[in-house]
């Protein structure tokens, strides 16, 4: 091992599972939660403390792997007997089990944060899992986040119709944009569900244009969208919503 490799190793791959700087990211979230609100108590605080303890044990085990694998002559902490290869294998196994516990504790913490409405923290944890290679955990958190965010706006979607007044149109545009922003893009059916709400929105905008005898621009898609012309194109839902918003705002300039 070169001097450069010895310098870089502690900051990068001290275990086969992830870099140390990745391993501590859930702990950073836990620290922020505990430090940010001293009144947080009960089960949330207990989950944070458990996550911090598990992360500490993971880092200790990962450090042991680094020392054991560094050089044949290096001093081995906590010598248990047996040859070096067996100790390294045991340390790898311990690191793997501890990492599994860290993942489980982080998911449990994320569930509690969802219940509290701390969606930004859940997004951070989902992003952490994605970069750490825990794709299933990341997908699970994004799906749960999508359910919570969609449910939060469900009641505001009931009033969408073909004859909304300007105030309702503006509110609908705001709500649909919020859904596209807060519900993860890979949430099942997100774009298709929003896309189905665009025709009544477009019809309401078009009705205002007709009531004011405003000539619809030749390049406008308001009528096209109002008649369901984008029903089969959920992949351009954001573009369609932006176009409707621009058309609507243009009526009041």
Range 177-183, long-range pairs (CB < 8 A, 24+ positions) = 177/241, 177/245, 178/153, 179/149, 179/150, 179/153, 180/237, 180/238, 180/241, 182/119, 182/149, 182/152, 183/145, 183/146, 183/149, 183/150
- For 68-75, which contacts have Cβ atoms below 8 Å and span 24 or more sequence positions? 70/1, 70/6, 70/9, 71/1
Confidence of residue 153 (pLDDT cuts 50, 70, 90): very high
How far is 59 from 15, CA to CA, in rounded Å? Answer: 9
Quick one: average pLDDT of 105-133?
86
pLDDT exceeds cutoff 80 at 112: yes
**Mean pLDDT computed over 155-177:** 94
Q: pLDDT at residue 246 above 90?
A: yes
pLDDT tens-digit series, residues 29-80: 665 565 555 555 566 677 777 767 777 776 676 666 665 566 555 554 555 5
* pLDDT for position 13: 41
Rounded to the nearest 10 degrees, the angle between the axes of helix 84-116 and helix 119-131 is 150
Supply the DSSP string of 140-189, one letter for each residue: HHHHHHHHHHHHHHHHHHTT--TT--HHHHHHHHHHHHHHHHHS-TTSTT
Model pLDDT, residue 133: 81
Global model pTM greater than 0.85: no
Find the mean pLDDT for residues 154-176. 94
The residue written with tokens 């359910």 in the block is 147
What is the average pLDDT score of the chain? 78
**Banded pLDDT at 5 (limits 50, 70, 90):** very low
Q: What is the pLDDT of residue 1?
A: 41
Q: How confident is the model at residue 7 (pLDDT cuts 50, 70, 90)?
A: very low
**Residue 29 CB-density burial (10 A; 0-12 exposed, 13-18 middle, 19+ buried):** buried
Closest by CA to 92, choosing from 126, 66, 56, 129, is: 66
Task: Work out the average pLDDT over 98-125.
Answer: 83
């Amino acid at each position: 091992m070169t001097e450069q490799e010895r310098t870089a190793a502690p900051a990068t791959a001290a275990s086969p599972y992830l870099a140390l700087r990745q391993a501590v990211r859930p702990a950073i979230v836990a620290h922020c939660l505990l430090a940010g609100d001293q009144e947080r108590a009960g089960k949330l605080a207990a989950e944070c403390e458990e996550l911090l303890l598990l992360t500490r044990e993971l880092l200790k085990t990962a450090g042991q792997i680094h020392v054991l694998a560094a050089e044949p002559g290096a001093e081995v902490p906590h010598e248990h007997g047996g040859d070096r290869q067996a100790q390294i294998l045991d340390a790898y196994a311990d690191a793997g089990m501890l990492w599994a516990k860290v993942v489980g504790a982080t998911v449990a913490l994320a569930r509690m944060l969802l219940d509290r409405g701390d969606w930004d923290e859940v997004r951070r944890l989902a992003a952490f899992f994605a970069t750490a290679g825990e794709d299933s955990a990341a997908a699970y958190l994004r799906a749960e986040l999508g359910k919570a965010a969609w449910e939060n706006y469900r009641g505001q979607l009931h009033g969408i119709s073909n004859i909304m007044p300007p105030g309702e149109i503006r509110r609908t545009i705001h709500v649909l944009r919020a859904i596209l922003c807060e519900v993860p893009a890979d949430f099942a059916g997100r774009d298709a569900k929003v896309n189905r709400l665009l025709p009544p929105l477009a019809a309401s905008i078009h009705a205002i244009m007709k009531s004011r005898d405003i000539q619809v621009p030749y390049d406008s898609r308001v009528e096209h969208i109002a008649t369901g012309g984008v029903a089969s194109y959920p992949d351009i839902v954001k573009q369609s919503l932006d176009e409707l918003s621009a058309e609507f705002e243009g009526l009041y300039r």
